[in-house]
Structure formats: C-alpha cells, structure tokens
Amino acid sequence: MNYKVIISEDEIRERVKELGKEISSDFSDKKVILTGVLKGAYIFMSDLSRAVTIPHSIDFMAVSSYGSSTTSSGVVRILKDFDFPITNKHIILVEDIIDSGLTLKYLVNLLKSRSPASLSVCALLDKKSKHPGESLADYVGFEIPDKFVVGYGLDYDQYYRNLPYIAYLENIKG
C-alpha cells in the first residue's frame, strides 16, 4: 500500500505542545480528567498528557462504531466506560479524528446526560469538510482534507497505528 506523509513527526510534536499549553491555561484553576477515546487516541493521549502542565487525572473510554473499516455509522458500542462517575467533573475528551462527527456527537450526548461540570473535546485531526458549519471540538490539532489517514494512533484495519507521522493511504476512500 502506498502512503504519503502529510503531517511530520516534528509538526505533531510542536502542535501537541501548543495544545497542552492552551488546555493548561484554560483549566489552570480546575481539576480535569483527560479522557482518551481508544484505540485511536492512545498515542496522542500520552503525548498530550505530558504536554498538559497542570495536575490532571486520566481515564479512557473504548468505543467501537458499527460500520465498515473506513466509515462510521453513528451507532456506537461502549466497550470500556469511565472508571468513576463524572458528575461535577471537568472532562476533556481526547479524540484521534473527527470525520462525519457521528461518533463524537453520540459520545458527547451520552456524557452530557451524566452532568459533568464541563465537557470539552480535543481532537488531533478534523476533516472539517465532512461536517460543514458544525464546530465539534474545542481544540483541534490540524484540519485535514477528506482523505483516509493513518499513523500516530490511527489505523486502517488495525494496522499502521505505530507510524510516528500522519500519512494518507492512496486508493482508500475515506
């Protein structure tokens, strides 16, 4: 399979540092729970957590969306939930990528119903053209075109997650 690097390791490192600074200043007086959405966010989450300089705890959710390997259906199965109740907590959901936004909208609705003190979303990548006019994340690493990408946690059929950069796979329709 051919792939082309679109965001380098250095660019990711710099941007993650900036996101960490932004989050740290926005939540300087709050106790936040950085919550990675598995599996795609596992690498972003570990780098972002180290870039956030305020004390914080972490948790993970694991979700699986019904659909093919490259498109989601919006029907989400929760494979792992928070370890503790999130009522009155400041939650920052850490996502790998927003494509149609269906997965994220489902999660946000679910979590809002549990009355957190606040709920923010930090996504490494956003395919803005797939959900025009809707701003779904409070923090976005990079806006990218509507192409199927892999690396830095993102997979194609569970592979390529370990690539240290973001690349797009040619011949895959996103």
What angle, 0 to 180 degrees and rounded to 10, lies between the N-to-C axes of helices 42-51 and 9-26?
60
94 binds ligand IMP (CB under 6 A): no
Contacts to ligand IMP from residues 144-163, by CB under 6 A: 148-150, 154
Q: Rounded CA gap, 114 and 91, in Å?
A: 11
Report in angstroms the alpha-carbon separations of 118 from 30, 73, 81, 100, 113.
10, 27, 18, 23, 12
Interface with ligand IMP by CB under 6 A: which range of 18-26, 28-36, 46-54, 102-110? 102-110
- Of the candidates 153, 70, 78, 140, which has an alpha carbon nearest to the alpha carbon of residue 109? 78
Q: Rounded CA gap, 173 and 140, in Å?
A: 23
Nearer to ligand IMP, 33 or 61 (CB): 61
Report in angstroms how near the CB of residue 118 gets to ligand IMP at its nearest: 22
141 binds ligand IMP (CB under 6 A): no
Active site residue 99: yes
Answer for the pair 129, 30: CB distance below 8 angstroms, yes or no: no
According to DSSP, the β-strands at 32-38 and 56-65 are parallel
Nearer to ligand IMP, 51 or 154 (CB): 154
Answer for the pair 63, 95: CB distance below 8 angstroms, yes or no: no
Question: Which one of 29, 81, 83, 99 is the catalytic residue?
Answer: 99
Task: Provide the residue count of the chain.
Answer: 174
Nearer to ligand IMP, 8 or 73 (CB): 73
35 binds ligand IMP (CB under 6 A): no
Question: Can you tell me which of 103, 124, 152, 167 binds ligand IMP, judged by CB under 6 A?
Answer: 103
Question: Can you tell me which of 20, 40, 116, 141 binds ligand IMP, judged by CB under 6 A?
Answer: 40
Residues designated catalytic = 99
Q: Binding residues for ligand IMP, per CB under 6 A?
A: 40, 65, 72, 96-104, 148-150, 154, 174
